Chains A and B, each alone.
Chain A
Amino acid sequence: MPDDEHVMVQVRDGRVEMLAILFERHHVRIYNFFLRLTANRPLSEDLTQELFLRILKYRHTYRGESKFSTWMYQIARNLHIDQLRSRHPEIPIDDLYEEPPCPRSCPAEEAESGQEADLLARAMERLPLRKREVLLLSRFQNLKYGEIAGLLACSVESVKVQVHRSLKELRRHYLDLQGGTR
Chain B
Amino acid sequence: MNCQEVRKNMPDLLNDGLPADAASKFRDHLLACRPCREEFQELNETWLRLGVLEEEQPGPELRRVFYRRLESYKKELARRQPGAWQQRMARFLPGWPLPAPALRFAAAALIVALGFSAGFFSGAAKKNTSGQLAALNREVDSLKQQVSLSLLSQPSASARLQGLSMTSQLQDPDPALLKTLLTVLDNDPSVSVRLSAVDALYLFADREEVRAAITDSLSRQTSPLVQIALIDLMVALKEKRAAAALKKLLAGNQLIPEVRQRAQSGISQIL
Those of B35-69 within 8 Å (CB) of chain A:
42-43, 45-47, 49-50, 52-59, 61-63, 65-67, 69
A33 CA to B46 CA, complexed, in Å: 19
A25 & B162 in contact (Cβ 8 Å cutoff): yes
Is A8 an interface residue when CB atoms closer than 8 A count as contact?
no
- Give the nearest-CB partner of A117 in chain B: B52
Q: Which of A49-57, A67-75, A91-99 contacts B (4 or more CB under 8 A)?
A: A49-57
Is A38 an interface residue when CB atoms closer than 8 A count as contact?
no
A117 & B54 in contact (Cβ 8 Å cutoff): yes
B47 & A167 in contact (Cβ 8 Å cutoff): yes
Chain A residues whose C-beta falls within 8 Å of the C-beta of B55 in the assembled complex? 28-29, 32
Is A77 an interface residue when CB atoms closer than 8 A count as contact?
no
B53 & A120 in contact (Cβ 8 Å cutoff): yes
Report the minimal beta-carbon distance from B227 to chain A, rounded to whole angstroms: 23
Give the contact-size bracket for chain A: 35 or more
Is A10 an interface residue when CB atoms closer than 8 A count as contact?
no
A121 & B46 in contact (Cβ 8 Å cutoff): no
A157 CA to B7 CA, complexed, in Å: 12
B50 & A139 in contact (Cβ 8 Å cutoff): yes
B69 & A160 in contact (Cβ 8 Å cutoff): no
Chain A residues whose C-beta falls within 8 Å of the C-beta of B59 in the assembled complex? 41, 45
Cβ contact of A144, chosen from B16, B63, B165, cutoff 8 A? B16
Is B70 an interface residue when CB atoms closer than 8 A count as contact?
yes
A31 & B62 in contact (Cβ 8 Å cutoff): yes
Report the minimal beta-carbon distance from B10 to chain A, rounded to whole angstroms: 6
Cβ contact of A20, chosen from B46, B57, B70, B158, cutoff 8 A? B70
B12 & A160 in contact (Cβ 8 Å cutoff): yes
A120 & B50 in contact (Cβ 8 Å cutoff): yes
A36 CA to B45 CA, complexed, in Å: 20
A171 CA to B45 CA, complexed, in Å: 9
Is B79 an interface residue when CB atoms closer than 8 A count as contact?
no
B66 & A45 in contact (Cβ 8 Å cutoff): no
Is A9 an interface residue when CB atoms closer than 8 A count as contact?
no
Is B173 an interface residue when CB atoms closer than 8 A count as contact?
no
A154 CA to B222 CA, complexed, in Å: 49
- Give the nearest-CB partner of A169 in chain B: B46
Is B228 an interface residue when CB atoms closer than 8 A count as contact?
no
Is B224 an interface residue when CB atoms closer than 8 A count as contact?
no
B50 & A31 in contact (Cβ 8 Å cutoff): no
Is B14 an interface residue when CB atoms closer than 8 A count as contact?
yes
A159 CA to B46 CA, complexed, in Å: 17
Cβ contact of A171, chosen from B7, B46, B52, cutoff 8 A? B46
Report the minimal beta-carbon distance from A120 to chain B, rounded to whole angstroms: 6
Is B33 an interface residue when CB atoms closer than 8 A count as contact?
no
B52 & A44 in contact (Cβ 8 Å cutoff): no
Sample (26) of A-B pairs whose CB atoms are under 8 Å apart = A17-B74, A19-B70, A24-B161, A28-B57, A28-B157, A28-B158, A28-B161, A31-B62, A45-B58, A49-B62, A49-B66, A49-B69, A52-B66, A56-B73, A116-B52, A124-B53, A135-B50, A140-B50, A144-B15, A145-B12, A157-B8, A160-B12, A163-B15, A164-B11, A171-B42, A174-B49
Chain B interface (Cβ within 8 Å of chain A)? Answer: 7-8, 10-12, 14-16, 42-43, 45-47, 49-50, 52-59, 61-63, 65-67, 69-70, 73-74, 77, 147, 157-158, 161-162, 165
Chain A interface (Cβ within 8 Å of chain B)? Answer: 1, 14, 16-17, 19-20, 23-25, 27-29, 31-32, 35-36, 41, 44-45, 48-49, 52-53, 56, 116-117, 120-121, 124, 135, 138-140, 144-146, 157, 159-160, 163-164, 167-168, 170-171, 174
